[in-house]
């Protein structure tokens, strides 16, 4: 029977090996703080470059919605760099150390954000000496719309999209409203009513419906049990000529499909479970991706049963989600990239 000292020696040895492995992972990647121009805005980011490996492709990481900084992409960036892919990830305009209007993340322009991604790609090419056509994109959620738009500016080497809506922004929002009301514990009928109210709201934004029609429906919905969980204590919808609607009109019917029809870049699409993703219409997105693939596009689709929009497992620990979903998804991404790099 092993002594306590022997057990401690083994445990200590394993711990030392683990520490040395972590130190090696850090040492083999060079980290650079960078700034690059996107029109009149200067963006701040981080570039990670493999020290001891030849590389033939780089990757720009594009964040999802919200007030997100480069930190949201740090883990994936380190994984890519440790496997031989120089990576650039950056603070969204108006966030962190990047210049820009402070509300740019909220009232965004798809074109502006696509320009940011394109200039990030060009900067990574300069940092690494790679040609621009050797740089690909990794994007999550809203980032996929941005990357789709960016393909009109320059053809990327590849695209990896995680939890991405292949839908218009309006369709995405209506789906999200329906899923949100269901998640809040209400019936399918109530979820449909909530989604229908949002669709009416969109028609006012487009200028296709009189504001008074929306106002009447809004007031009649205030007493519904689902209303406060969606709109809080808001008493009135935004006026037809409000700045909010002017901005929304500019993005509401953005559709990534026409851009995906034009690009020939190979792409991998990773999804959670349609039953648990409350933010992206997974089933509709996969249907549209299958149609694109049937038309000859180089598209690979993968989904993980039981996972939500963030590739987490509801009611399970984060550690279990890493082992069950995030680690397998990362391995699948790296294997797919290797096949693309090898031209398979």
How high is the pLDDT of residue 17?
42
How high is the pLDDT of residue 234?
66
| 271-309 pLDDT tens trace | 999 999 999 999 999 999 999 999 999 999 999 999 999
- From residue 326, how far is each of 75, 272, 300 by CA, in Å? 11, 10, 18
Contact assessment for residue 45 and residue 34, using Cβ atoms and an 8 Å cutoff: yes
Contact assessment for residue 49 and residue 128, using Cβ atoms and an 8 Å cutoff: yes
Which of 119, 117, 129, 147 lies closest to 86, judged by CA?
A: 129
How high is the pLDDT of residue 13?
59
Which long-range contacts (C-beta less than 8 Å, at least 24 apart) are formed by 73-76? 73/138, 74/46, 76/138, 76/330
Contact assessment for residue 133 and residue 157, using Cβ atoms and an 8 Å cutoff: yes
For residues 224 and 284, give the distance between their C-alpha atoms in angstroms, rounded to a whole number.
Answer: 29
How high is the pLDDT of residue 232?
87
- From residue 208, how far is each of 73, 193, 213 by CA, in Å? 40, 20, 11
For residues 98 and 107, give the distance between their C-alpha atoms in angstroms, rounded to a whole number.
Answer: 16
How high is the pLDDT of residue 12?
63
DSSP 8-state class, residue 134: G
Contact assessment for residue 113 and residue 87, using Cβ atoms and an 8 Å cutoff: no
How high is the pLDDT of residue 28?
74
Domains of the chain: 31-167+255-341 (3.40.50.1820), 169-251 (no CATH)
For residues 47 and 59, give the distance between their C-alpha atoms in angstroms, rounded to a whole number.
Answer: 10
Only one residue has tokens 């031209």, namely 343
In this prediction, the residues of the chain whose per-residue pLDDT falls under 50 are 16-24
DSSP H helices, 1-92, are: 4-27, 74-82
Indicate the pTM of the whole model. Answer: 0.90
How high is the pLDDT of residue 341?
87
How high is the pLDDT of residue 24?
43
């Amino acid at each position: 029977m092993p002594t306590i000292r022997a057990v401690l020696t083994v445990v200590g040895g394993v711990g030392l090996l683990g520490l040395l492995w972590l130190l090696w992972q850090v040492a083999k990647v060079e980290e650079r703080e960078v700034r690059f121009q996107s029109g009149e805005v200067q963006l701040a980011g981080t570039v990670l470059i493999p020290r001891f490996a030849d590389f033939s492709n780089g990757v720009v990481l594009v964040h999802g919605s919200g007030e997100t900084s480069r930190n949201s992409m740090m883990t994936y960036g380190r994984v890519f760099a440790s496997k031989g892919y120089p990576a650039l990830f950056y603070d969204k305009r108006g966030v962190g150390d990047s210049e820009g209007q402070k509300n740019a993340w909220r009232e965004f322009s798809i074109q502006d954000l696509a320009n940011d991604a394109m200039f990030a790609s060009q900067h990574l090419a300069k940092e690494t000496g790679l040609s621009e056509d050797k740089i690909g994109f990794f994007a999550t959620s809203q980032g996929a719309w941005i990357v789709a738009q960016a393909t009109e500016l320059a053809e990327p080497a590849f695209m990896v999209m995680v939890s991405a809506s292949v839908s218009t922004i309006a369709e995405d929002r209506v789906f999200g409203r329906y899923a949100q009301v269901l998640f809040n514990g209400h019936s399918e009928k109530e979820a449909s009513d909530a989604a229908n109210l949002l669709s009416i709201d969109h028609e006012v934004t487009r200028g296709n419906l009189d504001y008074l029609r929306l106002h009447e429906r809004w007031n009649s919905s205030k007493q519904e049990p689902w209303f406060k969980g969606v709109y809080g204590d808001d008493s009135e919808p935004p006026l037809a000529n409000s700045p909010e609607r002017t901005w929304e009109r500019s993005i509401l019917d953005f559709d990534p499909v026409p851009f995906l029809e034009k690009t020939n870049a190979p792409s991998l699409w990773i999804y959670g479970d349609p039953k648990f993703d409350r933010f992206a219409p997974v089933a509709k997105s996969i249907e549209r991706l299958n149609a694109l693939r049937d038309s000859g596009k180089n598209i690979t689709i993968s989904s993980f049963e039981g996972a939500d929009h963030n590739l987490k497992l509801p009611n399970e620990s984060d550690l279990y989600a890493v082992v069950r979903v995030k680690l397998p998804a990362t391995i699948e991404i790296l294997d797919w990239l290797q096949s693309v790099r090898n031209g398979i």
